[in-house]
Structure 1
Amino acid sequence: MRIGIIGAGALGGTFAALLHQAGHDVEVTARGASLAAIRDGGIQLTGGYGDVHARVEASELLTRRPDLVLVCTKAQDAEAAITANAEVIDGATVVVVQNGLDGVDTAAKLLPRSSCLGLLSIIAANHTEPGSVRVTSTAESFLGRGDGPPDDESRRIAEVLSEAVPVAAIGGFRGAQWTKLVVNMVNAVPAIVGRSVQEALSNRLLRRVITASMRETVRIGIARGIRFGSLQGLDDRRLRRFARMPLWIGQRLPRTLFAYLGSVPNLGSTQQSVRRGQPTEIDFLNGAVVRQAEAIGSDAPVNRALVQLVHEVEREGFLPVERVVAVLRN
Structure 2
Amino acid sequence: MSQLLEENDQVPSICVAGAGAIGITIAARFSIVGFRVRLIARGGSLASIRENGIRLLDKEGDHCSQVEVGRAADFGPQHIVFLCAKSYDLPELAASLQPLITSETTIIPVVNGIPWWYFDGEGGLWDGPVVRSVDPKGDLKKLMPSRQIIGTTTVITAERLGWGTARTFNPLQMTIGELDDRLSARVGELAAILNAAGIDVRVATRIRDAVWTKVVRNLISNPVTAITGATLRENFGNHYLSDVSRQMLREVIPVIEAYGGKLEVDPDAIIESGRMLGDVKTSMLQDFEKGNRLELASICDAVIEMAERQGITMPVTEAVTGIAHFRSQGEPANAA
Q: Same fold (TM over 0.5)?
A: yes
Moved more, 9-18 or 104-113: 104-113
Q: CA–CA distance in 1 between the matches of 2:185 and 2:173?
A: 19
**What is the CA distance between 1:7 and its match in structure 2?**
0.6
Q: Using the aligned pairs only, state the percent identity.
A: 28
* Counterpart in the other structure of 1:99: 112
* Counterpart in the other structure of 2:123: none
- SS of 2:72's equivalent? coil
Q: CA–CA distance in 2 between the matches of 1:297 and 1:70?
A: 35
1:128 and 1:282, CA in 2 relative to 1: closer, same or farther beyond 3 A? Answer: farther
Which amino acid in structure 2 is aligned with residue 268 of structure 1? T
- SS of 1:160's equivalent? helix
Q: CA–CA distance in 2 between the matches of 1:114 and 1:40?
A: 37
Give yes or no for the alignment of 1:82 onto 2:116.
no
* Counterpart in the other structure of 1:17: 28
Moved more, 153-162 or 45-54: 45-54
* Counterpart in the other structure of 2:53: 42
Structure 1, unpaired ranges of 5+: 240-249, 317-330
- SS of 1:168's equivalent? strand
Q: CA–CA distance in 2 between the matches of 1:304 and 1:142?
A: 28
Report which of the two has the higher share of helix: 1
- SS of 2:38's equivalent? strand
Give yes or no for the alignment of 1:70 onto 2:82.
yes
Deviations 1:117-152, CA, capped at 9 Å, x for gaps: 122110111114221101032142111132524322
- SS of 1:257's equivalent? helix
**Does the Cα contact within 8 Å between 2:232 and 2:274 map onto a contact in 1?**
no
Q: CA–CA distance in 2 between the matches of 1:111 and 1:223?
A: 27
Deviations 1:203-248, CA, capped at 9 Å, x for gaps: 11111111111221112111232233x3xxx1xxx34xxxxxxxxx
**Does the Cα contact within 8 Å between 2:160 and 2:166 map onto a contact in 1?**
yes
Q: CA–CA distance in 2 between the matches of 1:47 and 1:84?
A: 31
Deviations 1:10-40, CA, capped at 9 Å, x for gaps: 1111000010112111111122222222122
* Counterpart in the other structure of 1:179: 213
Written as runs of structure 1 = structure 2, the 5 A alignment for 1:217-236 is 217-228=252-263, 230=264, 234=265
1:198 is aligned, of 223, 226, 233, to 233
**What is the CA distance between 1:272 and its match in structure 2?**
1.7
TM-score normalised over the length of structure 1: 0.83
Structure 2, unpaired ranges of 5+: 1-11, 121-134, 331-336
Deviations 1:249-301, CA, capped at 9 Å, x for gaps: x6x75134333x1x4x3111111222232212111112122011111122222
**Does the Cα contact within 8 Å between 2:191 and 2:203 map onto a contact in 1?**
yes
Deviations 1:164-207, CA, capped at 9 Å, x for gaps: 11212221001211111111121111111122222222211111
- SS of 1:121's equivalent? strand
Q: CA–CA distance in 2 between the matches of 1:214 and 1:60?
A: 40
1:3 is aligned, of 7, 11, 14, to 14
Deviations 1:76-128, CA, capped at 9 Å, x for gaps: 21122011111322331111111122244575531349611122110111114
Counting matched residue pairs gives 295
Q: CA–CA distance in 2 between the matches of 1:191 and 1:34?
A: 25
* Counterpart in the other structure of 1:152: 185
* Counterpart in the other structure of 2:303: 289
Q: CA–CA distance in 1 between the matches of 2:172 and 2:322?
A: 31
- SS of 1:66's equivalent? coil
Which amino acid in structure 2 is aligned with residue 20 of structure 1? S
* Counterpart in the other structure of 1:119: 152
Which amino acid in structure 1 is aligned with residue 235 of structure 2? A
Which amino acid in structure 1 is aligned with residue 85 of structure 2? T
* Counterpart in the other structure of 2:168: 135
- SS of 2:155's equivalent? coil
**Does the Cα contact within 8 Å between 1:108 and 1:116 map onto a contact in 2?**
no
- SS of 2:212's equivalent? helix
Which amino acid in structure 2 is aligned with residue 305 of structure 1? A
- SS of 2:85's equivalent? coil
Q: CA–CA distance in 2 between the matches of 1:90 and 1:194?
A: 43
Q: CA–CA distance in 1 between the matches of 2:101 and 2:146?
A: 9
